[in-house]
């Protein structure tokens, strides 16, 4: 899940500037789960923008705002209302903003949301970063706890000397990721994994922008 937060209204109004007629897009996936761009949030944004003197020509929650087939379909369904707008406000992550922007000719797209990280939804309003999409997952070696993301220093071989009572020296409110890894490996009888030295990450795997192209669906066990 792409964890995100809504920009504050003043920032959105500033980004809209002289664009007085606005179409608002949301997303039924991450943006709805994070309460940044579902039906409820779009209705609230419409009310707020109208109170600020804007005209909202329409709203639509796309099933998945970064899925190009869905974007094309929803834009076609809402074409008249989008044509009537000066700009389109996207209440979804930056991938959604760019997907919609790629399909709209001569129509500015305005982000209404800040994408923050890939994480878990603990409950509505409580989210935790769990993965940096490093391109080379090593969770098998740590029994499912990512040191790259959950250790404040991103140590692949830990812990450092700073943890105290199981907490991180950088932020004592947070558990030391390597203490968690140690406990889990021990409980599950895999403590031998802790003795292995992990090799440095191959940073060539994160050259941006990253792309993945399949000529055909991937088969189980196939090398990429
Ligand atoms: S090692 Fe961590 S950052 Fe890399 S893919 Fe796995 S969970 Fe994500
Ligand atoms: S105390 Fe633990 S989580 Fe914090 S930086 Fe050191 S190894 Fe990482």
Q: Report which DSSP code applies to 106.
A: T
Q: What pLDDT was estimated at residue 28? A: 97
Pairing of strands 126-131, 109-111: unpaired
How many whole angstroms separate alpha carbon 42 and alpha carbon 116? Answer: 20
Q: What pLDDT was estimated at residue 213? A: 86
pLDDT tens-digit profile of 8-19?
Answer: 999 999 999 999
How many whole angstroms separate alpha carbon 21 and alpha carbon 86? Answer: 5
Distance 125 CA to ligand 2 centre (A): 26
Considering every ligand atom shown, identify the ligand nearest to the alpha carbon of residue 149 and give its number: 1
Per residue, the 3-state secondary structure of 135-173, as one string, reads: CCCCCCCCCCCCHHHHCCCCCCCCCCCCCECCECCCCCC
pLDDT tens-digit profile of 34-70?
Answer: 999 999 999 999 999 999 999 999 999 999 999 999 9
Ligand 1 atom closest to residue 134's alpha carbon, by position in its atom list: 4
Q: Return the biggest CA–CA distance within the chain.
A: 65
Q: What pLDDT was estimated at residue 224? A: 61
Confidence band, pLDDT 50/70/90 cuts, at residue 202: confident
How many whole angstroms separate alpha carbon 50 and alpha carbon 56? Answer: 7
Q: What pLDDT was estimated at residue 208? A: 84
Chain mean pLDDT for the chain? 94
Q: Are 168 and 175 contacting, i.e. CB atoms less than 8 angstroms apart?
A: yes
Mean pLDDT of 155-159: 96
Confidence band, pLDDT 50/70/90 cuts, at residue 219: confident
Considering every ligand atom shown, identify the ligand nearest to the alpha carbon of residue 177 and give its number: 2
Distance 142 CA to ligand 1 centre (A): 11
Q: What pLDDT was estimated at residue 215? A: 76
Mean pLDDT of 198-206: 86
Considering every ligand atom shown, identify the ligand nearest to the alpha carbon of residue 152 and give its number: 2
Q: Does the pLDDT of residue 105 top 90, yes or no?
A: no
198 lines ligand 2 (CB under 6 A): no
Q: Does the pLDDT of residue 216 top 80, yes or no?
A: no
pLDDT tens-digit profile of 177-189?
Answer: 999 999 999 999 9
Report yes or no on whether pTM surpasses 0.75: yes
Residues in the chain: 224
Q: Does the pLDDT of residue 121 top 80, yes or no?
A: yes
């Amino acid at each position: 899940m792409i964890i995100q937060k809504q920009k504050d209204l003043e920032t959105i109004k500033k980004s809209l500037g002289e664009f007085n007629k606005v179409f608002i897009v949301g997303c039924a996936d991450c943006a709805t789960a994070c309460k940044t761009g579902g039906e409820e949030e779009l209705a609230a944004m419409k009310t707020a923008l109208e109170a600020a003197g804007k005209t909202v020509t329409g709203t639509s929650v796309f099933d998945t705002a970064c899925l190009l087939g869905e974007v094309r379909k929803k834009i076609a369904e809402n074409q008249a209302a989008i044509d009537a707008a000066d700009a389109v406000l996207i209440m979804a992550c930056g991938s959604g903003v760019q997907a919609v922007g790629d399909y709209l000719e001569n129509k500015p797209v305005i982000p209404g949301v800040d994408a923050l990280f890939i994480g878990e939804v603990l409950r509505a309003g409580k989210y935790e970063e769990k993965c940096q999409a490093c391109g080379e997952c090593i969770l098998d070696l740590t029994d499912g706890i990512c040191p790259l993301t959950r250790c404040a220093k991103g140590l692949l071989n830990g812990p450092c000397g700073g943890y105290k009572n199981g907490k991180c020296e950088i932020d004592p409110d947070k558990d030391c990721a390597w203490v968690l890894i140690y406990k889990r490996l021990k409980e599950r009888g895999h403590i031998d994994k802790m003795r292995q030295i992990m090799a440095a990450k191959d940073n060539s795997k994160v050259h941006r922008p990253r792309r993945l192209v399949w000529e055909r669906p991937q088969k189980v066990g196939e090398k990429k």
